[in-house]
Amino acid sequence: MTEFLHLLACALYSIAALLGLRRREWPEAARWVNVLLTLGVVGQGAGFVALHARDPLVPLESFPAALSLIGWLIPTSYLYALRVASVGGVGHWVGCVAASITLIALIGLVQYQGDPAAAEIPGGSWSHAHVLLSTLGFSLLALTSLAGLAYLAKRTALKRNQTARFGLPSLESLDRMEHVTLGLGFSLLSLGVLTGFVWGQSRGLSPWTQHSRWLIIAWAVYLVPIGMRIVRHQHGDRPARVVVAGFGFLAFSYIGIRLLGMTA
Amino acid sequence: MNLILIGLNHRTAPVDVRERYALSEDRAFTLNEKLVLHASLVEGVVISTCNRTEIIAVADGAEKGEEALFQTFDALVPGNRAAREHFYVHRNRAAVEHLFRVAASLDSMVLGETQILGQVKRAYALAAQAGSCGAILNRLFHRAFRAAKRVRAETGLGATSISLARVGVQLAAEIFETLADKRLALVGAGEIAEASLHAFHESGLRSIVVLNRTPEAAARLAAPYDAQAASLSRLDSELAAADIVVSSVTVDRPVISTGQIQRTIAQRHQRSLLIIDLGLPRNVDPACKQIDDAYLYDVDDLEEVAQRGRDRRREAMVPAEAILALELEQFERWQAGLRAVPTIRNLVARTREIARREAQRTLVRMPDTSDETRDALERMADAIVAKLLHRPLDQLRNEAADQGPAYYAEAIREIFGLEEDEE
């Protein structure tokens, strides 16, 4: 059941991404992108809940469950961001990212046969807090990076006098989305890092795993745009470049090291 | 007589070439005066807008006239012979057609824009003031104005009209989420500045400052829009406060430099600054395009944005072209009708002379006649001539306009013995 719901969500996100590409020929497409993303969020939310009924049980700390949560949080945060900023033009990008992450989560779920090591480690509320806070932070920072990328693409297009090329929201909207999601995402990520250390301490594990090292590096990189924006009140393309780079480190700390088998 | 039009526009020359030939009103006026001093040029009108500089002239000979016009352009920018590839030359019908298209905004960068007709009218008024506009160009320009008005009224071009100023608003929407909380600094207080002010005000922008060399002119423009007015000396401080800068002053060198924009961007904490340079010669140093977070667009750059609305307006081109063709034909008929003018003039003079002579002869025999009666008799003689000649003159004009053989003209010259007079 959970696999089917994830597949359904993945399909809906993909259709939203494809439909978004047609929004210039068909103005109604933008509205349908949001409808499809909402349906996808509902479907994936149900699939995430159904993880608890799956046999073998997929714990929240597992890679597929964490990815599924991220895949759900990205479109959810975006749909919320729509209410506070005019950022409608990036819906198809969000659909594309959510579909990709949900697909990887789905593959992980299909292959998941239980993790004896995880069963031996006591989880408890710290582990749940760590996973929830850091995935929420990761999702918001994914949106930050998406807004940063869109900002840089739009800026380049405007500089080259190709204003209509991507049909993206205004630079100011993207900058605001980047600003808001960065502040929230960084705060949640910081709490996630902190709870992760507490969780590690409670398990008597070394705090310097590959995952935690890369997470700390990503967290430190994010201090740069935070400083630029909050301390120096900077806007524009420089903070955008740094948030894109920061997300590269963050994505590597979550996904890259697992794909490369660097988990310890 | 030959009609010759020589010029360059946004299609044939880049902005850095066009700005060298851009003329202020004073220079255009002087050039109009000089044109008719040239031996081979009879009439001439100089048209200079942000997208074109053209001279349309009536010349005795096509080659001589063309050479005279090129010499005029050479004198504008010494050593311009290398830039000849940017010029186009239209003669007679093609020249008339081109002028009609310009006035009707079919040749504009922004198809259907509203400002060009006003600019052509202004060019004509300057030439009329300078005394370089004669019967042919008077008639031609009035035809062009009439054609342009018909195009606007009878085709979709009027309904979807936009101006460069509105293109500027579209650009602002690409950069800013809303214009309601933004500040606009307008440099200049001319026609283009007014159009920009109107367009931005209509889009919801309310915080506006108009900067001009003469603050009185700025205040005049600002008042109806509840905007502020200031002298150009406050440019630096106003740049720092502005989100959008629209510049349209006539200057020899840029009024906004790279250094000014760099300082402004730093003061704004890298928030985006949109600069629209509608001036020709350009008002803003083109090197400002390289500055991060500053978005500078000159008149050439606006074409890309204008392209969006062009397809829709292109549908209105077919009926517009038909209107222009009709107006062109009517002007040509009038121009061809000029062939009959010497015959008509001589015929009217001859018959009026006969009638007056006969009236005088009658009056000699009536010595006690009052002045009023004498005047009435003379007026009656003129009226009889006019009534009698009405139809023959119409026939003469129509025959000439049809551009066929001049049977009536020949017959009349022979019957009334006008041949010798015309010679």
pLDDT digits (tens, 9 = 90+) for B358-409: 888 888 888 888 888 888 888 888 888 888 888 888 888 787 777 677 788 8
Residue A151 and residue A78 in one domain: no
* A37 and A13 belong to one structural domain: yes
Answer yes or no: are the C-beta atoms of B343 and B422 closer than 8 Å: yes
Q: Which of the 8 DSSP states describes residue B256?
A: B
Do the chains contact at B292 and A164, CB–CB below 8 Å? Answer: no
B-chain CB neighbours of A237 within 8 Å are 270, 292-293
Contact B254, B289 (CB under 8 A): no
Beta-carbon separation of A154 and B269 below 8 A: no
**Residues A94, A2 share a domain:** yes
Contact A171 B289 (CB under 8 A): no
Please name the member of A154, A163, A236 whose beta carbon is closest to the beta carbon of B292: A236
Using the Cβ of A235 and the Cβ atoms of chain B, whether some distance falls under 8 Å is answered with yes
pLDDT of residue B423: 40
Task: State which residue of chain A sits closest to B299, comparing Cα positions.
Answer: A161
Residue B256's closest CA among B277, B285, B232, B230?
B285
Distance CA A158, CA A161 (A): 5
CA distance A116 to chain B (A): 52
* Three-class SS state of B220: helix
Tell if the CB–CB gap between A236 and B295 is shorter than 8 Å. Answer: no
Q: Are B347 and B393 within 8 A, CB to CB?
A: yes
Structure tokens that stand for A192 in this block: 């996630």
Res. B1: pLDDT tops 80 = no
If asked whether residues A136 and A233 sit together in one domain, one would say: yes
CB-based contact, B291 to chain A, within 8 Å: no
Q: Which residues of A touch B295 (CB under 8 A)?
A: 158-159
Residues of B with a catalytic annotation lie at 50
Cβ within 8 Å, pair A237-B171: no
Position A86 confidence tier, pLDDT thresholds 50, 70, 90: low
**Residue A236 is which amino acid?**
G
CA dihedral B260, B266, B268, B270 (to 10 degrees): 120
What pLDDT, on the 0 to 100 scale, is given for residue B125?
94
Q: Which of B16-20, B77-81, B271-275, B309-313 has the lowest mean pLDDT?
A: B309-313
**Closest-CA distance of chain A to residue B291, Å:** 10
ipTM of this predicted structure: 0.72
* A139 and A77 share one domain: no
> Is A124 touching B (CB cutoff 8 A)?
no
- In angstroms, the separation between the Cα of residue A176 and the nearest Cα of chain B is 9
Of A228, A50, A199, which Cα lies nearest the Cα of A118? A199
**Mean pLDDT throughout A110-134?**
70
What radius of gyration, in Å, describes the C-alpha atoms of chain B?
28
- Comparing CA positions, the residue from A127, A18, A12 lying closest to residue A65 is A127
A263 touching B (Cβ < 8 Å): no
- For residues B78 and B64, is the Cβ–Cβ distance under 8 A? no
d(CA A221, CA B23): 55
Q: How many CB atoms lie within 10 A of CB A33?
A: 27
Q: Which among B177, B293, B308 is the nearest to A170, CB-wise?
A: B177
* Mean of pLDDT values over A70-92: 78
Distance of CA B284 to the CA centre of its chain: 26
pLDDT at residue B183, as a whole number: 94
Structure tokens at A170: 């205004």
What chain B residue is nearest to A234 in terms of C-alpha separation?
A: B269
Domains of chain B with CATH codes: 2-161 (3.30.460.30), 164-308 (3.40.50.720), 340-422 (no CATH)
pLDDT of residue B96: 93
pLDDT at A167: 66
Query: A82 and A162 share a domain?
Result: no
Put simply, the answer to whether A161 touches B304 (Cβ < 8 Å) is yes
Three-state DSSP class for residue B294: strand
Cβ separation A86–B177 shorter than 8 A: yes
Query: Any CB–CB contact under 8 A between A163 and chain B?
Result: yes
CA angle A54, A55, A57 (to 5 degrees): 70
d(CA B200, CA B62): 46
Express each pLDDT in A204-252 by its tens digit: 777 777 777 888 888 888 888 888 888 878 888 888 998 898 888 888 8
Q: What is the pLDDT of residue B304?
A: 65
Evaluate if residue B171 carries a pLDDT over 70: yes
All residues of chain B having their beta carbon less than 8 Å from the beta carbon of residue A235 are 269-272, 293
B2's enclosing H/E stretch is strand B2-9
The reply to whether omega before B281 is within 30° of 0 (cis) is yes
Q: Which of A20-29, A97-106, A173-182, B345-354 has the lowest mean pLDDT?
A: A20-29
Which chain A residue's Cα is nearest to B168? A163
B positions 132-191 inside 8 Å of A (CB): 170-171, 173-177
Q: Which residue has the tokens 């005088």?
A: B360
Q: Are residues A101 and A6 in the same domain?
A: yes
First to last CA, chain B: 18
Whether B279 contacts B249, CB under 8 Å:
yes
CB–CB contacts below 8 A, A to B: 57
Decide: A131 and A66 in contact? Cβ < 8 Å. yes
> What is the number of domains present in chain A?
2
Q: Do A71 and A14 fall into the same domain?
A: yes
Percent of chain B predicted with pLDDT > 90: 29
Mean pLDDT (chain B) is 85
**Please, what's the largest Cα pairwise distance for chain A?**
59
- End of a domain among A120, A142, A170? A120
Which residues in chain B are contacts of A158 at CB distance < 8 A? 174-175, 295
The domain in which residue A116 lies consists of 1-120
Q: Is the pLDDT of residue B150 over 80?
A: yes
Say yes or no: A110 and A135 in one domain: no
Q: Is A164 on the interface with B (CB under 8 A)?
A: yes
Strands B207-212 and B52-59: unpaired
What's the average model confidence in pLDDT over A6-11?
Answer: 90
The fraction of chain B above a pLDDT of 70, given in percent, is 92
Residue B323 has pLDDT above 70, yes or no: yes
Same domain, A87 and A136: no
Out of A120, A146, A175, a domain closes at A120
Q: Are residues A83 and A1 in the same domain?
A: yes
At A49-65, the pLDDT tens digits run 887 777 777 777 677 88
Instruction: Report CA torsion sign: A210, A215, A218, A220.
Output: negative
Q: Is the pLDDT of residue A153 over 80?
A: yes
Specify whether A105 is located in the same domain as A137: no
**pLDDT at res. B422:** 46
Domain boundary among A63, A98, A120: A120
Q: What is the pLDDT of residue B310?
A: 63
**Integer Rg of chain A from CA:** 19
C-beta atoms of A170 and B271 within 8 A: no
Nearest to A122 by CA among A59, A70, A66: A59
Per-residue pLDDT, A121: 54
What pLDDT, on a 0 to 100 scale, did the predictor assign at position B265?
A: 87
Distance from C-alpha of A163 to C-alpha of B215, rounded to nearest angstrom: 35
- According to the model, what pLDDT value does residue A166 have? 59
Using CA atoms of B261, B264, B270, B272 in order, give the dihedral in degrees to the nearest 10.
-70
H runs (alpha helix) in chain A: 2-20, 29-50, 63-84, 91-111, 116-120, 124-159, 171-203, 210-226, 237-251, 257-259
Closest alpha carbon within chain A to B172 = A170
Q: Which residues pair with B294 in a beta bridge?
A: B273
Q: Which helix (H) or strand (E) holds B228?
A: strand B228-231
The pLDDT tens digits of the residues spanning B121-149 come to: 999 999 999 999 888 999 999 999 999 98
For residue B183, the SS3 value is strand
Mutate to test the interface with B, among A90, A161, A179 (most CBs of B within 10 A): A161
Distance CA B42, CA B98 (A): 20
Cβ neighbours for B402, distance < 8 A, ≥ 6 positions apart: B333, B336
Contacts 24+ apart (CB under 8 A), B81-90: B83/B8, B83/B13, B83/B17, B83/B20, B86/B8, B86/B12, B86/B13, B86/B17, B87/B6, B87/B7, B87/B8, B87/B12, B88/B6, B88/B7, B88/B8, B88/B9, B88/B12, B89/B4, B89/B5, B89/B6, B90/B4, B90/B5, B90/B6
Report percent pLDDT > 90 for chain A: 6
8 Å CB contact of B292 and A176? no
